Chains A and B, each alone.
Chain A
Amino acid sequence: MNDDADYDVVIVGAGVNGALSAKRLTRAGLRVLVLEAGPDTAWTFDGYTRHVSHFYANSTKNAESAWPPAANAPQPDTADVRSGDGYFVQQGPNPFASSYTRLLGGSTLHWLGVSLRMLPEDFELRTRYGVGRDWPLGYADLEPYYRQAEREIGVSADVADQAHLGIDFPEGYDYPMRRIPPSYSDRVLAAAIDGMEVALGEEQFALQVRNYPAARNSMPRGDYQPVGAVDERTDGQALARDLGQRCAGNTACTPICPIQAKYNAGKSLAQAENRNLRVIPQAVASRILVDPVSGMVRGVEYQRYEHPGSPRHTVHTATARAYVLAAHAVENAKLLLASGLSGGSGQVGKGLMDHPALYAWGLSPTSVGAFRGPLSTAGIDDLRGGSFRASHAAFRFDIGNDGWRATTGAPDSSVASAVTGHQLFGPRLRTHLEESLPRQVRFSVAVEQLPSAANNVSIDPRYVDPLGNPRPVINYHLDDYTLAGMAAATDVYRQVFRRAGIEDRSDPEEASWMPSVSYDGSVFHYHGMGHFAGTHVMGSSAETSVVDADQRSWEHRNLFVLGSGSFPTMGTSNPTLTMAALTLRTSERLIKELAG
């Protein structure tokens, strides 16, 4: 498209929401400009390959280690949580322990790919349990869009596993691809655990190891064609598209799938109608310009930089008929606040949520074949819903296939401690490792968090990035509802370990550093799941929310604010699938209005 094209829609951000919007809108004939704050290095096959090499060469292996940020589009790094001197200005009292990626592709570049639907009860927590907020729409409203989202991002699962806790599917529907085969570990643990009963409050729950829906390519159903690596070339040589059409069990889903069998937003952007799309990378939206009389947005000011290392930039304004913010829950809120659009409700930036998560790790009595396959393939979902939610948070177990990698840095750290701690070497060292490493079990327990005005993103002119844009100032604390959920989750994991004969080796002293929090005589060490939500909440009135159920700003009717920032609550599901569904719903409405 030409530089001076006149656009129907400007989209800020090329993550999953921006990319899906761009795909749908351009295919409906609308002319779209996408502004991406970070570089587009992950969007060429060569560039993606360089990110893989960067990860291999990096001595740390966290969610960011494949994705170095551009100085002008800085991003939070979990390695900075301890020092507190990263991109986030952490004002506590508890550190916010999650991160996101500011590159074309967004955080889907580093996500694990878990694509759970929210439970019907998650949409009406206030009505059902007297806590949190209700959503302005329900599961039934979103269900058709869940199906579309599962096809758009390519989810592998079997309905037979997923139809529980009130989640229902229309007759005849199944996921576009069959489930990723359960790991050996999943099957060993299922044999030990399935059917065991635990009590929460008055209720009894039977637990089951359950495969989860994953945005990783598997065997297709029907006519579905798995989408492999992104390789956009015009010369008939997009050879790499053949890669990644099936998950090959590489153990690096997070931070980077080396073959792109895992969904990333670049895939959706590559499916947009090229003739109607222009993508400008290294273009940081700095201000939303609003007509003071009508309240309509009349442009987005952005800073274009040539060199990721230099703050030199030029300032431009993009104009269109409608504007979509899809920059991330934190960045959307930041941009609204920096533009003076804090709204009549005062809710912009308020209600920040994550899934603070606990690790539990131990040694199984027999081998579970640790360190093989995707990082995880199953979980325990049975405690995601129930009447206990009136008094404490729900939670979900993720069952790792990666031994104690995430908790202690195994297997390297296991070797080091055997050598230095137990003075083992030679054949005895080998025997020890062969005997112990395959028995390593790791659970990660993600705990629900409710919205609270005390948890928020704000801006402060004292804290700016190299381009002069505000850095997010974070206030965050874990309240008793969540902490009581952590206590219940701890109790359940111990019962599960006992049942499976797993020797509990959870020891924060042995683990990588994590922030801690005290509750009722216990200390919990938590990590972030990267599930930011709640910063531009949707609702049914302008007095109490930032956007309506279509994610349209109450005050600026040609402005749409997309993503998990719109979530009033987020239950225990990873937010990507739900936000993708919301985005597809919003796109449908935008198309009706603009192309109709």
Chain B
Amino acid sequence: MNVTRLKDLLQAAVELELSTIPPYLCALYSLRPGSNDEAAAIIRSVVVEEMLHMVLAANVLTAIGGTPRLTGTDHVPRYPHELPDGVVIDLLPFCPQAVEAFLKVENPQHDHQAMDPEHPLIVGRRPEKHPAGATAVMSRPATIGAFYAEISEALEQAAKELGEPALFCGDPARQVTRQYYYASGGMPDVVTDLASAQAALDEIVDQGEGDPSSMFDADGNLAHYFRFQQLKYNRSYRRSDNAGPPSGPPIGVDFDAVYPMIANPRGADYTDPELRAASDTANRTWSDLLRQLEAGFNGRPEMLLTAVPTMFRLRDQSLVLLANPLPSDGRRHAGPTFEWDGVDGPDPEPDQMKGLQ
């Protein structure tokens, strides 16, 4: 097994996990204040676990001597984003179509009707699709689960060929530990050998689609797919529901109490100069966040502390956009575009660390 290819696979995994975050954040931030409390809790709980998955994938990559990359046009996800199994994820406000896409992302067996390109939500809003990096590096088109299975096999193969110590040659000090990871949605595993690498990958798959015949992951928490089923049916699960549709009480899903964000917005869509400036600000923050996280994954874990207030800023700046109707449209609102600011460069300025520690 070629270690370079293994690194490519793991880099694609990091990007894959990253690519799920903006769509979830768009749905989360589009909820109008005072509405959809349970929906917000559900989406938030998933998005923090996707963050954890990205950390776990990065730890595995670091453990084999790789350098996780999150910055630059080659690595920052673009939307609409096409996953390896052909599923297209858009940046959408909270709506039934977004929930359907989330269900499909989390469970490939989900009976998913791809959105009609003429659907009013997306008509004219999908100029091109951007394939996930995983599509290029995988040996065959397949689901996310199969993608991780391929990584898992490749790791095992490489460990057999090279021996574990040679494969896991990364500096343990570069692992992201729970000390720095903002411990939501579980704990990052420090990866130093094959067993811990497999445990990290298992956690990613287990929390996501889980075992389709069981609603719960190994920690007894409802798997992502089933959390989203509750949004689709506006009902909570009972333990006795046995992986069928949920039969518990309603959870207050209100698809109307949402800022009607334009699908897959881009900075270029904002002809109004103030809106454009607000969008550029949010994109600089998003790019700063990616620079900080990348530094955090590459030997400067303390940068993950700086990243926390950056996440708050990104939220606040996204809400500014979402609360604004598009002057040219009259009905639909602006939204965060999650575009790379184009500033490729070294690590974040050291003075951003002033004020901490």
Instruction: Check if B184 sits within 8 Å of A237, measured CB to CB.
Output: no
Name the A residues within 8 Å of B179 (CB-CB): 219-220
Nearest opposing residue in chain B for A217, CB measure: B183
Give the contacts of B319-357 with A (CB-CB under 8 A): 355-357
Q: Name the distance in Å between A594's Cβ and chain B's nearest Cβ.
A: 32
Q: Which of B217-273 contact A (CB under 8 A)?
A: 220-222, 227, 236-239, 248
Cβ-based interface call for B215 (8 A): yes
A341 in the interface, Cβ–Cβ < 8 Å?
no
Answer whether A236 and B308 are a contact pair too, CB < 8 Å, given A181-B356, A242-B45, A246-B183.
Answer: no
What is the bound-complex CA distance between A321 and B221, given in angstroms? Answer: 38
* B44 lies within 8 A of chain A by Cβ: yes
CB of B42 within 8 A of chain A? yes
Option from A220, A242, A249 in Cβ contact (under 8 Å) with B48: A242
In whole angstroms, what is the CA distance A468 to B28 when docked? 49
- Residue of B with least CB distance to A244: B184
CB <8 Å contact, B183 and A235: no
Chain B residues near A249 (CB, 8 Å)?
309
Interface string of B33-65 (1 = CB under 8 A from A): 000010001101100100000000000000000
Q: Given the known A-B contacts A46-B37, A49-B37, A242-B48, are A237 and B182 also in contact in the complex, defined by CB atoms under 8 Å?
A: no
Chain A residues lying within 8 Å of B79, measured Cβ to Cβ, are: none
Is A349 interfacial (CB 8 A cutoff)?
Answer: no
Q: Which residues of B contact A220 (CB under 8 A)?
A: 178-179, 183
| Contact with A234, one of B44, B48, B239, B308 (Cβ below 8 angstroms) | B239
Residue-wise interface mask of A (194-238) relative to B, using a CB-CB cutoff of 8 A (1 in contact, 0 not): 000000000000000000000000011000001000000011111
Chain B residues within 8 Å of A226, by CB:
183
B229 to chain A, nearest CB (A): 12
A290 interface residue, CB < 8 Å from B? no
Q: Is the CB of B41 within 8 A of A235?
A: no
A236, B356: Cβ atoms under 8 Å?
no
When chains A and B are docked, how far (Å) is the Cα of A544 from the Cα of B240? 60
Partner of A240, one of B41, B308, B356: B41
Interface string of A237-253 (1 = CB under 8 A from B): 11110110110110000
State whether the Cβ of B108 lies closer than 8 Å to any Cβ in chain A.
no
Q: B213 → chain A, closest Cβ, in Å?
A: 15
Closest residue of chain A to B52, judged by CB?
A: A242
Consensus secondary structure, chain A interface:
loop
B236 touching A237 by the CB < 8 A rule? yes
Within 8 Å by CB of A239, from B41, B248, B308, B356, lies: B41
Q: How far is the CB of B304 from chain A (nearest CB, A)?
A: 11
Chain A residues with CB under 8 A of B309: 249
* B131: Cβ under 8 A from any A Cβ: no
Q: Which residues of B contact A46 (CB under 8 A)?
A: 37
Q: Report which of B41, B183, B308, B355 forms a contact with A248, defined as CB distance below 8 A.
A: B308
Kindly state whether residue B212 has any CB partner on chain A within 8 Å.
no
A184 interfacial by beta-carbon distance below 8 Å: yes
B290-324 contact mask (Cβ, 8 Å, vs A): 1 or 0: 00000000000000000011001000000000000
**Interface flag for B185 (CB, 8 Å):** yes
Docked Cα-Cα span, A234 to B220, in Å, equals 10
Instruction: Please name all residues of chain B whose beta carbon is closer than 8 Å to the beta carbon of A238 when the two chains form the complex.
Output: 221
Give chain A residues whose Cβ lies under 8 Å from the Cβ of B312: 248
Expressed in whole angstroms, the minimum distance between the Cβ of A119 and any Cβ of chain B is 29
Check B239–A236 contact: CB distance below 8 A: yes
Query: Which residue of chain B has its CB nearest to the CB of A178?
Result: B179
Residues of A within 8 A of B (CB): 45-46, 49, 181, 184, 219-220, 226, 234-240, 242-243, 245-246, 248-249
Known A235-B222, A248-B312; 19 more pairs at CB < 8 Å: A46-B37, A49-B37, A219-B179, A220-B179, A226-B183, A235-B239, A236-B220, A236-B221, A236-B237, A236-B239, A237-B221, A237-B222, A237-B237, A238-B221, A239-B41, A242-B45, A243-B184, A248-B308, A249-B309
List 8 interface pairs A-B (beta carbons < 8 Å), by A numbering: A219-B180, A220-B179, A237-B221, A237-B236, A237-B237, A239-B227, A240-B41, A248-B312
Rank and list the top 6 A-B pairs by shortest CB-CB distance, nearest first: A239-B45, A242-B184, A236-B222, A245-B183, A239-B41, A219-B179
